[in-house]
Amino acid sequence: MGTGISLFIKKTPDGGPFTVFIDEQFVNLHDSFSDQRERVEILITDTQPEASHSLAIVNGGGRVVVEGVRIFGKPVLKGPPGWISIFPNSGMTTRETDYINIVLNANRLMPGVYGEQIVFTSNGGEADVEVFLEVATVTQTRFLDVHRYLAGSDYIFSTNPQAEASRLQGYRHLGIAFRLFSPGTPGTTDFFRWFNPAKGDHFYSSDPSGSAKSPAGYLFEGSIGNIATFRLAGTRELYRWVHPGKGVHFFTTDQGGEGLGKKGYRFDGIAGFVR
């Protein structure tokens, strides 16, 4: 929603070309290749009418890493002192990937778009990171209870067991595992379900294509609700586990995998954030 958008991408030696469309109309061809790893901002358009628009990125080969966007058309407001905080604000890390927690306090913010620039200083140099959020009119968020069922080694999650009664025949109800968000909740996206009848295994992902984590042979069964794509207030991680030998999956909010590591399962990442 706005008059334009720019992309923050990471150029890498294994990057490649990609095409950009606005409202299904061709805009430009860009390239994410570079001999050196670098982050750049690419202006896509800033001349659109103030309205809702769709951005499509088509990969032409190679690796395209999109790290963020900047939306044009709405004035960026400054929050009051103390509306943003960071922890830890200093320290040392030896890991390739690490995390900084940015906490935004929207209690005193009127509806609008707010932004702030965070400066990272290290022995590797200095970098600026822009943080934006939109405070919308308060609405009541609706949560969906996710029921877990088991048959053999196959776990199926359902937010509407009554409508799926025939599909759940032969499965044993294990209770409510967690809660998803209702469609349209800001900061969330569809959480899709697939089933492999040959393996008797259900797979879940926020990626509509199933991503590379989902092997071939899975049948798409649709969305069961919305999952948060980042840590919203009151959410927790939904962990994905996989059994390499059997090729079956297990999803849980228990970081230890509910003890399935002793049965040959291994940790396979975070599927998203749930209540």
Question: pLDDT (tens digit, 9 = 90+) per residue, 246-268?
Answer: 989 999 999 999 999 999 999 99
Of the residues 50, 72, 94, the one at which a domain ends: 72
Residues 62-91, mean pLDDT to the nearest whole number: 88
Q: Is 177 found in the same domain as 219?
A: yes
CA dist 51 → 4, 15, 71, 207 (Å)? 10, 32, 12, 26
| β-pairing verdict for 236-243 and 248-252 | antiparallel
Q: Is 240 found in the same domain as 156?
A: yes
Q: Is 102 found in the same domain as 55?
A: no
pLDDT of residue 270: 94
Q: Is 220 found in the same domain as 126?
A: no
Of the residues 72, 106, 127, the one at which a domain ends: 72
pLDDT of residue 52: 82
CA dist 248 → 8, 79, 167, 237, 238 (Å)? 36, 47, 19, 20, 16
pLDDT of residue 44: 95
Q: Is 236 found in the same domain as 156?
A: yes
d(CA 107, CA 79): 11
Report whether pLDDT(202) > 60.
yes
Question: Do residues 230 and 273 touch, judged by C-beta distance below 8 A?
Answer: yes
Q: Is 22 found in the same domain as 66?
A: yes
Q: Is 59 found in the same domain as 90?
A: no
SS (H, E, C) 94-108: CCCCCCCEEEECCCC
Report whether pLDDT(240) > 90.
yes
Of the residues 43, 72, 101, the one at which a domain ends: 72
Q: Tokens for 202?
A: 């259900």
Q: Is 200 found in the same domain as 96?
A: no
Question: Do residues 49 and 72 touch, judged by C-beta distance below 8 A?
Answer: no
- The domain tally of the chain equals 3
Q: Is 82 found in the same domain as 65?
A: no
Give the residue numbers spanning the domain of 219: 143-274
pLDDT of residue 173: 97
Q: Is 174 found in the same domain as 209?
A: yes
First-to-last alpha carbon distance for the chain, in angstroms, is 28
Report whether pLDDT(211) > 70.
no
pLDDT of residue 260: 92
pLDDT of residue 142: 86
Nearest to 34 by CA among 58, 56, 17, 54: 17
Radius of gyration for the chain, computed over Cα atoms and rounded to the nearest angstrom:
21
Q: Is 152 found in the same domain as 265?
A: yes
Question: Do residues 79 and 114 touch, judged by C-beta distance below 8 A?
Answer: yes
Residues 174, 189, 222: CA angle, nearest 5 degrees: 60
Q: Tokens for 3?
A: 């008059």
Question: pLDDT (tens digit, 9 = 90+) per residue, 140-188?
Answer: 678 999 999 999 999 999 999 999 999 999 999 999 999 999 988 888 9
Report whether pLDDT(212) > 60.
no
pLDDT of residue 214: 55
d(CA 209, CA 91): 39
pLDDT of residue 195: 94
Residues 62-84, mean pLDDT to the nearest whole number: 87
Helices (H) and strands (E) in the chain, counts: 0, 20
**What value does the mean pLDDT of the chain take?**
90
Question: pLDDT (tens digit, 9 = 90+) per residue, 115-146?
Answer: 888 999 988 888 888 888 888 776 667 899 99
Question: pLDDT (tens digit, 9 = 90+) per residue, 15-56?
Answer: 999 999 998 899 999 999 999 889 899 999 999 998 888 899
Q: Is 265 found in the same domain as 169?
A: yes
Confidence band, pLDDT 50/70/90 cuts, at residue 233: confident
